Structure 1
């Protein structure tokens, strides 16, 4: 066997030559099993392995020799992905494709590698795969850092925007608060501040009825301001005092009195509060002051007005059918509802108006301030005298507050004639002096005595009941004219 054949066989064999294989070759005449020949063989194999390892390394490093350029293309694609920073989905797809290509290239490298390649070739491939894995992990770390950095920047921007908006809102709210505190919110009036007010009232001989008030409904803290406002309102929302002569031609003052007297009986039938009765009469007078009405529809106006007042004042107002029934079905439900709408439109839905009852509560409280024990007869008698004026058309020319003050004046005089019924406390809280009450008190005293012999007795019968202490039967023995 020639030397070239020996070399061919050596190059064709792969792996280590064992003793059995060497013996087989020696017997066949291929290779002698001597130390020299084995040294030459080892030298040849080592040289071949070094050459192939260097070629493989050059191929992995991007050389033009050895394997094809697919591995370089894969690395170039991976580098482009890491530098250009495509969308997250594109990056994931590229990473997957790069990993698959790497696996294909490594498998092809293993397939194309010579069968007699030593362990160094496998080590070089493993080193290349390791570096590629490290590059991919670095790319993922950079991508995750970019994403986290982008999220952090977005969060900072949102935080700054929120802070700027909050600061603007705070600035606006501070501006509103400063403006409202200086301009919109009224400053406390010194005369209504509790300590100064009580001291000033004591100096004038006036009892402060709001300092020790335990009734929450009296609104003692704001009562002076409230009643000052009500005194202005009663001047603005008054009925005409001459609408019977100037506007109405088919009805008279006597017809109005008959209607009011009947409504008193209706309010008693349905147990309505006195506020409802006062508001009903107020609505009737204001409506008749602006709208002409025929005699046959006057009762319809009264029923619709009481329906409106009941809805405004009562907790459980009577139904429309109840008012139709009380009129003996003279009017249908549709007619009552239609008149209700007409009245509300004429009055522009202005129902929060001060009546005599509104002032009577405050003035009776002032009258009780001089009593050690509240007098229930005083309250009933003052209410009785005030309700007598509802029937009389002539009392429209007097303000509700003036009628209430006159009713308290006459009631005190009727119950106790040993002392003058007026005092500084009543004069302070009513705002009327004795001389200002003279005309109304004298007219009210005539109603109490029924000097005109009126047949409208619904109110008198109402206050003759024991639940009202029969105050309608009380009269004064002395002349009221001596008080002025």
Structure 2
């Protein structure tokens, strides 16, 4: 099913104007039979009030006729725009209301809400320069690269990894920490994220063991209390993974045949940004949209990777994605020679269709 955004606007405007007209008719007009009675009584000599009522009816009728003519003219103008934009169509990805997990009835409202929430609960984009003196972006990258291995060891869901990184960055944005306690913060945030996202989260002792018992159970629990109280228990935050599901769904709806490589590749590109401190300056929704853009381009250079459906659901135009897509392509090609390979090794596995080995023959900069 394909719908046009312009057609929706026309329908809404027509419904609104017609409802106004009907309200005016109910409030200001009498029935035709009553108007005839007033005419007869006026001919036989009526009271002054009846004559004024009739004049009011005539004035209102004239006003409504003018509104109808104006509305008809506006509809004709919009119809011309419809004809001109008939090529631009949007696929309705919320049409399937049979799958309860898609929340198709509420999905637009849900994503409208989280687009606001992603602005409210962002970590600072320059906390390393302004607050942290004992740790560096490279130390943060090493920690997250190790946490990727931990999440694979315990087979945690991707949402747990994304939430872990979000909690780390939000805590470091306002609290100074020594480098000796950075790993303690990492495992504690993963413990909290596991309790929030996992059906059966790993035990505290498991996270102590994974650090070669560098930290005790008491130290982990004390840090857990510190992190939760500092963040006021606000764990419901939209991450890149939250938006990625929606945008991949929109991308697959635009394809004739769903492509599993597209989903794996977009997830791979999005996870690459987790270890990069410089990507904190980009919104999660922007990173998700850019990952889908670059994944589609990597798999197929014959068509433009962005279309009206993706633009509608992501609310980003291709030009708005330019900076993020180019930065993401540099990560994909590893132009800076980064030695943190946990995510690359993960997506080289056959269960992910070895998407980490895929690259496009042509640079994406040619599209902009």
1:426 aligns with 2:310: yes
> Where do 1:375-394 residues align within 5 Å?
375-394=259-278
1:468 aligns with 2:331: no
1:289 aligns with 2:173: yes
> Which runs of no fewer than 5 residues in structure 2 stay unpaired?
1-7, 15-81
For the 8 Å contact 2:171–2:227, the answer to whether it is kept is: yes
SS at match of 2:305: coil
CA offsets, 1:213-244, max 9 Å, x none?
A: 54311111111111011100000000000000
For the 8 Å contact 2:251–2:292, the answer to whether it is kept is: yes
For the 8 Å contact 1:206–1:425, the answer to whether it is kept is: yes
For the 8 Å contact 1:300–1:336, the answer to whether it is kept is: yes
Give the drift of 1:372: 2.3
For the 8 Å contact 2:97–2:105, the answer to whether it is kept is: no
SS at match of 2:90: coil
CA offsets, 1:53-93, max 9 Å, x none?
A: xxxxxxxxxxxxxxxxxxxxxxxxxxxxxxxxxxxxxxxxx
* Larger RCO: 1 or 2 (CA < 8 Å, sep 6+): 2
1:359 aligns with 2:243: yes
SS at match of 2:201: coil
1:409 aligns with 2:293: yes
SS at match of 1:240: coil
For the 8 Å contact 1:290–1:346, the answer to whether it is kept is: no
d(CA) in 1 for partners of 2:208 and 2:93?
Answer: 45
d(CA) in 2 for partners of 1:331 and 1:408?
Answer: 39
> Where do 1:238-249 residues align within 5 Å?
238-249=122-133
d(CA) in 2 for partners of 1:358 and 1:203?
Answer: 30
For the 8 Å contact 1:234–1:354, the answer to whether it is kept is: yes
The aligned residue for residue 191 of structure 2 is 307
The aligned residue for residue 136 of structure 1 is none
Give the drift of 1:289: 0.4
The aligned residue for residue 4 of structure 2 is none
For the 8 Å contact 2:204–2:217, the answer to whether it is kept is: yes
Q: How many residues align?
A: 290
Pairing partner for 2:136 from 252, 255, 260: 252
CA offsets, 1:303-344, max 9 Å, x none?
A: 100000000000000000000000000000000000000000
1:233 aligns with 2:153: no
The aligned residue for residue 338 of structure 2 is 454
d(CA) in 2 for partners of 1:416 and 1:278?
Answer: 28
d(CA) in 1 for partners of 2:255 and 2:159?
Answer: 26
Give the drift of 1:202: 7.9
Give the drift of 1:371: 1.5
SS at match of 1:280: helix
For the 8 Å contact 2:306–2:318, the answer to whether it is kept is: yes
Pairing partner for 2:205 from 321, 337, 343: 321
> Where do 1:211-230 residues align within 5 Å?
211-212=95-96, 214-230=98-114
The aligned residue for residue 231 of structure 2 is 347
The aligned residue for residue 272 of structure 1 is 156
Give the drift of 1:203: 7.6
SS at match of 2:113: helix
Q: If the length of structure 2 is used for normalisation, what is the TM-score?
A: 0.77
> Which runs of no fewer than 5 residues in structure 1 stay unpaired?
1-189
After the TM superposition, list the runs of 4 or more consecutive aligned residues in structure 1 that deviate by more than 2 angstroms. 200-204, 212-215
For the 8 Å contact 2:184–2:215, the answer to whether it is kept is: yes
Cα gap change, 1:325 to 1:209, in 2 (>3 Å): same
The aligned residue for residue 37 of structure 1 is none
Q: If the length of structure 1 is used for normalisation, what is the TM-score?
A: 0.58
d(CA) in 2 for partners of 1:342 and 1:397?
Answer: 26
| Aligned residues: CA RMSD | 1.8
1:261 aligns with 2:145: yes
The aligned residue for residue 55 of structure 2 is none
1:206 aligns with 2:90: yes
SS at match of 2:247: helix
